[in-house]
Structure 1
Amino acid sequence: MATASSPTSEIYRRNGFPSLFEVLSRKTLPPVDLFSFYIYMRDQQRSVDYLDFWLDVSQHLSLCRHYVRRLHRSVIEDTPELEKETSKRSSYIVDNAGEGPSTEMATAASDQRLSAFLRSDHGSRNHSPQNSHGSNKSNQSISGLERPPRPSFMTNTNSPGDDSSSPGQNSSGPDNVPKREDLRASAEKILYTYLLPGSEREIIIPQGILQDIQEAIEGPAQRSDPELFDAAKDYVFQAMERDAFPGFLKSKGLGNLVPPSMMMRLIIGLLAMFGAFWTAFILIFLDKPKHIRCWLILPFTIGVYALASHQYMLDPILVLVGYSEYTFMDFAQMREPYVRKLLNGRAMMVLVVVILVDAALCSLFIFVPGRRL
């Protein structure tokens, strides 16, 4: 059931392009959803490691939240019956801490409470549920740059605070319950995968931020709380918002084609126009009748349409039937209302341009007097 605060109602109230935070929070629909942004970062921006770092840190936050919830449940189960109500009330704030990314002002305090609890939790191992498979199961990441997007990108029905929507998480059974060692393994994996110089998928962040994170994880404190990644996460978020996100909105919000498809249309358009002009001059100099020259409409239409599609980065017919291209010759239905409305208007404008240019060229070469050489 949709409520006033549900992602669906927010989508239909939006009268503009979404923000990067909305995209990363899975509050948008194709063609400006998280899946499309991941494809754009991988294939066009060539900086998908930054997005993967941000998502892995968010996944680490979800893992910490899940750990704290199960820890408090186990504490309550071991508490005498008369003290259970008091224990439930006192642990409610920590149990619900960390709901939402650290970039949301309304949830910054709860994230800090979650991290403060994890830093002060020294005896939690006695209450940690057993039979955990560890972060190898909950924090799997694919090593190559050209790997497929995460399966969780394909779902958009879970609320952002729901553990079931976290990548790689399945809290339905006891075998997936994390332990404190899993939190540390998750933090170390992020450090060794993305941050250390020469790491497998190194991203560039300020040296001061890197040193603080390395000292917090490898130093005496041996921290694993999500707050230690806040500075790096915010830096990566701002870098994506400044360098990648405007191009993504331009590509998906003002067009519906990817660069390989645009290049294909440019080649087809140039070849079609060359063939049209070559044929037109031959028919004129052979003094062919006008009903034969009418066949020039076909190559001129193909050429003008293909060149206009390349110039405006959209295929008007695909837009009008409601599809956008996210990889070469792979299409997805457009479901974001504002984007579809905007692209429909641009598609009609492009079609008018195509018709006018095509009509002018065909009229010129069909009705010009012929002269046999």
Structure 2
Amino acid sequence: MSPRPQVIDAAQALAAPQAFDAVIDVRSPSEFAEDHWPGALNWPVLGDEERRIVGTLYKASPFEARKLGAALVARNIAKHLDTHGADLQRNWRPLVYCWRGGQRSGAMHWFLGQIGFKSLQLVGGYKAYRAEVRSGLETMPLGLQLRVLCGRTGTGKTRLLQALRAQGGQVLDLEGLALHRGSVLGALPGQPQPSQKRFDSLLWQALKSMDLSRPIFVESESRKIGQLRLPEPLHAAMRASATIFWVDMPDEARVQLLLQDYAHFIQQPEAFCALMDCLVTLRGRQKVERWQALARDGDFASVFAELMREHYDPGYERSLSGHYPQLAQAQRLHLADGESASLNAAAAQLLQG
């Protein structure tokens, strides 16, 4: 009988995630934070500072660096086994990876194998996984039945996506994945955006979960959401969609929705004013200073009304007309306001269509 294979490539592993009891990422915490395999656990065999020290030493003496690195790796693996190993059974089957599938994952894989666990090492490591993600983001958008929600700022498109999801609709929430609302004011308080690689992974996971036989609702977006860039094939598929909906809402209701969504600025008007400085080149110093003065006076209703009328609406409509030439034929969807009753009724209407 041939010995059980102890390595696996990324395509095979991604095609059969149920084959593993756990995925162990042995890279440093900062590498893991930037991006990682879906659902992976971080058992670093070298911490960030340890990795820096070994890397610096390697330039002077590869032998001394390997000697120090081996001692550090062995100690760290022992700590992980002390912390996590008590409840692991003999038939535990982890997938282990590092940056390139080399010495770091090799060390963890060897130790686990010596204990008797059914460990597998990922060929090519994280870089092989990343290649699969990039390839998938090139091809997966081609088969999507996209239903694109267009509309001015504050018309409840994101809330409508949430209502669609609650009623069983298939939704791709790009702003939710990007942790950003997509405008100069769009950063979420206390929630930094993920790295570009992490966003790519989250988007890839979302697309992989989609049922291609069913429509997918998505909000129209520019090529960038905050600091993150959409894959061009997905953006092209959104622009080419044959099914476009124009969502509208009365201006008074839009202002109320914006007051709810951006309530954090009411508590931090200076943060709002700092962001407004970015608009000076577009709207002029006098206009921006007026908006800042209104914000400092607490009159955010007037600020948002003027921003909608004088900044967001003209810019959004110019951008949309360039990206969606079929916009004139878009199906119209009216929302009376951003409250649950209106959103649920609109979602039901979209799903029935």
TM-score range, shorter chain: under 0.3
Higher relative contact order (CA 8 A, sep 6+): 1
Q: State the structure with more CA Rg.
A: 1
The structure whose residues are more often strand, as a share, is 2
The structure whose residues are more often helix, as a share, is 1
Q: TM-score when scaled to structure 1?
A: 0.26
